[in-house]
Amino acid sequence: MNPKPHDLSTPHPPPPLPAESRSPGFGLIVIGDEILSGKRADKHLGKVIELLGARGLALAWAEYVGDDPVRITAVLRRAFASGDAVFSTGGIGATPDDHTRQCAARALGVPLALHAEAAELIRQRMREIAAEKGEPYDPDRAENEHRLNMAVFPVGARLIPNPYNRIAGFSCAGPGGGMVHFVPGFPVMAWPMIEWVLDHHYSDRFQRGGWVERSLVVFDAMEATLTPLMQRIEAEHPAVKVFSLPSVDHPQWGRHIELGLKGSPEAVEQAWPALVDGLKAFAARIGPEVVRKI
């Protein structure tokens, strides 16, 4: 009897991981049509990775979305339910294409309201602008009243100070344990605000000097061949993660795989002989060792 072929039309996905097996991570949402159209290049992803890395942290995921309220709301609902600390950049202004504040409220199921402290910071900024121009400050001018819309946040939001122009960002907690921190799209404002959030709310997670990546360059190897070794090391040393980074056109090493471990220095040191001995068993041609410390 011929074996029954696999039915590819009805795949059976693996069961979800239990909640306790995944610790909270850091996420990034970049909002704006100008990014997706290519009119502007995103700079936030690389910088957020850098800011987290300087504190011994890592980015778990990132998502891009245009200025579509339905899509933004859906992305934010997932973020609020994720249990992660998430940075959202862009769309918190007060022009017709800025939807993030409204979408955040919709995703949380709460109303929008003028935040008194954020409004006062905006008024301070408007007084400064008027003084710089040598004009009297008139709070009833139409443009000044309009600027106060940037202080309308979902009820319960907490402020993120903006050292550039005092127009604050805000943080909101979701029912699923996710905390989303909303900052402007301008890097000159967003990056110091993200640093402030990290240093004031997540310093207990910092692991400076507590994370290391140690790897070997392996020539002329196939990832499929090395996969059993990688699985065995992770099973025997659950405190480390095994990574494989193939390259086909490296300017120095040509076609190769960078195969390595990441984790605490102690965990990596303990698992390292298993990686080296496993590669020897494959008679792999091994190149330089690479070590990266955070």
Kindly report which listed range (50-54, 82-86, 250-254, 272-276) carries the lowest average pLDDT score: 250-254
What number of CA atoms fall less than 13 Å from residue 24's CA on the CB side?
A: 15
Residue 23's pLDDT is what?
63
Question: What span, in angstroms and rounded, lies between the C-alpha atoms of 140 and 117?
Answer: 18
Question: How confident is the model over 57-74, as pLDDT tens digits?
Answer: 889 999 999 999 999 999
- Average pLDDT of the chain is 87
Contacts of 14 (CB under 8 A, 6+ apart): none
Residue with tokens 């909303």: 182
210: pLDDT confidence band, cut at 50, 70 and 90? low
Is a pLDDT exceeding 90 seen at residue 282? no
Q: Which DSSP state fits 71? A: H
Is a pLDDT exceeding 90 seen at residue 195? yes
DSSP secondary structure of 91-143: --SSSTT--HHHHHHHHHT--EEE-HHHHHHHHHHHHHHHHHHT----TTSHH
Question: How confident is the model over 76-123, as pLDDT tens digits?
Answer: 999 999 999 999 999 999 999 999 999 999 999 999 999 999 999 999
Q: What is the largest CA-CA distance in the chain?
A: 92
Residue 167's pLDDT is what?
94
Q: Which DSSP state fits 2? A: P
Q: Which residues pair with 215 in a beta bridge?
A: 260, 290
Give me the mean pLDDT over the 213-242 stretch. 90
Domains of the chain are 23-205 (3.40.980.10), 212-293 (3.30.70.2860)
Task: Classify residue 162 as exposed, middle or buried by CB count within 10 Å of its CB (0-12, 13-18, 19+).
Answer: buried
Residue 264's pLDDT is what?
83
Question: How confident is the model over 2-23, as pLDDT tens digits?
Answer: 444 434 343 444 444 444 445 6
Question: What span, in angstroms and rounded, lies between the C-alpha atoms of 104 and 91?
Answer: 11
Closest CA to 202 of 57, 30, 44: 57
Residue 208's pLDDT is what?
61
Task: Classify residue 202 as exposed, middle or buried by CB count within 10 Å of its CB (0-12, 13-18, 19+).
Answer: middle
Residue 12's pLDDT is what?
46
What phi-psi label fits residue 283: left (phi over 0), alpha (psi between -120 and 50 degrees) or beta?
left
Question: What span, in angstroms and rounded, lies between the C-alpha atoms of 54 and 294?
Answer: 7
Give me the mean pLDDT over the 236-250 stretch. 87
Residue 294's pLDDT is what?
60
Residue percentage of the chain with pLDDT more than 70 = 90
Q: Which residues pair with 172 in a beta bridge?
A: 180
Is a pLDDT exceeding 90 seen at residue 233? yes
